[in-house]
Structure 1
Amino acid sequence: MESTSVSAQPLVGKVALVAGATRGAGRAMAVELGRAGATVYATGRTTRKHTSEVGRDTETIEETAELTTAAGREAGGAGAGIAVPTDHLVPGQVEALVERIDREQGRLDILVNDIWGGDLHVEWDKKMWEHDLDKGLRLMRLGIETHIVTSRYALPLLVRNPGGLVVEVTDGTEEYNGSNYRKPFYYDLAKSTPLRMAWGLAREVEEYGCTALCLSPGWLRSESMLDTAFGVTEENWRDGCEQNPHFAISETPAFVGRALVALASDPEVARWNGRSLSSGGLAKEYGFTDVDGSAPDAWRYITEVDQESKTADVTGYR
């Protein structure tokens, strides 16, 4: 991967927890933080010995940690990944995780709440009263309760030092989710709630000199999006545009990882306190690009271009 446009390893000495770092955006954020020099604790439920309910054993937190360490070494020597198997619905496991970070590092500078894993429970075309209740409540727990539990135990360590950054990760900006129904009902709640969480946590941590915000990738070319949804690889991802032409606006997970590094490296990051941000929007602010040198602004595209159209023109959007 290309390096970001920020100075080499600006996060040396910083400690991060990326909760939900097994794959997708979480993995990329962990790797890019490591590339920038941070020590990164990567958590998740899928390990080389255990596969979570998501059912993908091809990505593990051990691999995420190894990729994070390798990125740090390639970029300048600092940066490391540490894999800690954690079910963020089990308070005792999260408490033990934070105690370990405190014991080993004595600080926490960046908390990323990226836990999800609820897609398999979503019944996309069903009304609220038709949707299986157990599945609906399960994805609410995975997408909301996990974030609450993690913040409950991690924030006391983070607010010890000014400059801490809390990042709630979701799907969709406040502008988009606030005016569009992200059906079905349970998915809409799960992806809208982190926006409000970030707004509330911003008020909680501000007096300690810390910042909380919400960050959304655009149309993410995650591992499952590529191989399950479109049957392509990163190398031939454009073939997916034959199935949906608007896939042309999609982005690699590294793009949101670079957005996170830009935020964590910004000495004036407090200006974003409580805000809803996107990878595409931040690329304009900080000047980073995706791995191919483009800067896809997916949420602006999705808002302004008719998604029902059979043609797509990403000119001016990436």
Structure 2
Amino acid sequence: MFKKKAVSLNGLICLVVGVSNRGVGKGIAKQLVKAGATVYITSGTRQTDENSEESYLQSIAKEIDSKSNKCLAIQCDFSSYRDIRNLFERIDLEQDGQLDVLVNNNYAAVQIPEEKLCKSFWEHPVELWDAVNNVALRNHYLCNARAAKLMVTRKRGLLINISSSGNVKDADNLAINVRKEICDKLSVSLARELQKHNVCCVSLCPGVVRMELIERMYIAEFERYESNCKATKKLELMLTGAESSQFTGIAVVHLASDKSVMRKSGQVLLTTDLAKEYGFKDIDDQLPADFRSISFLLKIHGWPWLAMFIPSFVKVPQWLMTFFGYNV
């Protein structure tokens, strides 16, 4: 059923916004470069020493691609419109107006300590809301607008806004949950306006991703629910079915190579759904947990005996998942 396909993105120019040393952004950039694309990476991390930030990004770029020079690092403060404008003007100049794929992965909450993310909303520091919904969402809009300006001129392009599948951690966090809903609505609205220009815009939702921050957050949740066996079992299953940081990148590569991708414009897509449609697996040659699978949902909610009688291919309809914000 799953056949590995050699996907080539030679000649494509991509920008991945929000790249850190261990996150999804880096995994996306790595897979795009592997497929042959030229990839600009940038980070919204703000540091007082500009040279240290440039060095940080350059080291990531070299780790992603040390041979062909197809991964290019650009420092950008995403709280500054001037920096965002300069970023896109540089790509416009260096690539003669070509930008084929924008991946918006700026997720400012990664800089907030996990113990603060796990608190009730009235205990959240105001900087959490500002980071997630002032800086990050504003950046999503501005980057989409600047990228669309280049893509509309060439009558082709792909805008991907990395959203959230509303997993058990995010569902308990007001600021992050609101950001997810607005991000998805933004993609739908942009897609409607860009349809006539042959520019596709989607929201892409990873599942639970295996990376250091997420694991620390889940450890905090384990401690929070230590007296609740059902809750801790749910968290264990979520982590067991987690995907690598490169799985989203593989999904992005397949979207970028799909000549019929316009039919997906305006949709909220799940990485696991795309894996089954395009026929790819994670880097460990496994399929992560499918959060639309009814049997999996029954397992994590404490009914494993009932899950035994439900085939894994029986899923919750996507419209229903969208209605409930993908919260499981």
TM-score, normalised via structure 1 length: 0.79
After TM superposition, the structure 1 stretch with the greater mean CA deviation from structure 2, 270-279 or 296-305, is 296-305
Q: How many residues are treated as equivalent by the alignment? A: 288
Distance of 1:243 and 1:276 partners within structure 2: 24
Correspondences of 1:175-186 after superposition (within 5 Å): 182-186=171-175
CA 1:269–1:243: 2 relative to 1, 3 Å: closer
Match of 2:77 in 1: 87
The answer (yes or no) to whether the contact 2:207–2:242 under 8 Å persists in 1 is yes
Runs of at least 4 residues of structure 1 off by over 6 A? 240-243, 310-315
CA 1:242–1:299: 2 relative to 1, 3 Å: closer
Distance of 2:292 and 2:235 partners within structure 1: 21
Match of 2:16 in 1: 18
Q: Does 1:289 align with 2:281?
A: yes
Q: CA deviation at 1:181?
A: 8.4
Equivalent in 156, 178, 202 of residue 191 of structure 2 = 202
The answer (yes or no) to whether the contact 1:115–1:143 under 8 Å persists in 2 is yes
Match of 2:58 in 1: 62
Distance of 2:36 and 2:46 partners within structure 1: 24
Q: Percent identity?
A: 27
Correspondences of 1:133-144 after superposition (within 5 Å): 133-144=126-137
Distance of 1:60 and 1:311 partners within structure 2: 45
Distance of 1:222 and 1:158 partners within structure 2: 33
Supply the AA of the counterpart residue of 1:189: V
The answer (yes or no) to whether the contact 2:45–2:77 under 8 Å persists in 1 is no
The answer (yes or no) to whether the contact 1:214–1:277 under 8 Å persists in 2 is yes
Distance of 2:185 and 2:235 partners within structure 1: 34
Match of 1:250 in 2: 242
Distance of 2:188 and 2:235 partners within structure 1: 37
More helix by proportion, 1 or 2?
Answer: 2
After TM superposition, the structure 1 stretch with the greater mean CA deviation from structure 2, 278-287 or 115-124, is 115-124
After TM superposition, the structure 1 stretch with the greater mean CA deviation from structure 2, 185-194 or 38-47, is 38-47
Distance of 1:169 and 1:285 partners within structure 2: 19
The answer (yes or no) to whether the contact 2:233–2:300 under 8 Å persists in 1 is no
Secondary structure of the corresponding residue to residue 209 of structure 2: coil
Q: Does 1:124 align with 2:118?
A: yes
Q: CA deviation at 1:271?
A: 1.1
CA 1:96–1:194: 2 relative to 1, 3 Å: same
Supply the AA of the counterpart residue of 1:20: G
Distance of 1:258 and 1:5 partners within structure 2: 11
- Unpaired stretches in structure 2, ≥5 consecutive residues: 221-231, 314-328
Secondary structure of the corresponding residue to residue 291 of structure 1: coil
- Unpaired stretches in structure 1, ≥5 consecutive residues: 52-56, 232-239
The answer (yes or no) to whether the contact 1:31–1:64 under 8 Å persists in 2 is no
Q: Does 1:101 align with 2:94?
A: no
CA 1:104–1:251: 2 relative to 1, 3 Å: same
The answer (yes or no) to whether the contact 2:159–2:201 under 8 Å persists in 1 is yes
Distance of 1:159 and 1:254 partners within structure 2: 29
Match of 1:211 in 2: 200
Q: Does 1:39 align with 2:50?
A: no
Distance of 2:209 and 2:64 partners within structure 1: 20
The answer (yes or no) to whether the contact 1:165–1:212 under 8 Å persists in 2 is yes
Secondary structure of the corresponding residue to residue 244 of structure 1: helix
The answer (yes or no) to whether the contact 2:237–2:300 under 8 Å persists in 1 is no
Distance of 1:97 and 1:44 partners within structure 2: 11
Match of 1:151 in 2: 144
CA 1:134–1:270: 2 relative to 1, 3 Å: same
Q: CA deviation at 1:307?
A: 3.3
The answer (yes or no) to whether the contact 2:194–2:200 under 8 Å persists in 1 is yes
CA 1:243–1:194: 2 relative to 1, 3 Å: closer
CA 1:298–1:148: 2 relative to 1, 3 Å: same
The answer (yes or no) to whether the contact 1:42–1:83 under 8 Å persists in 2 is yes
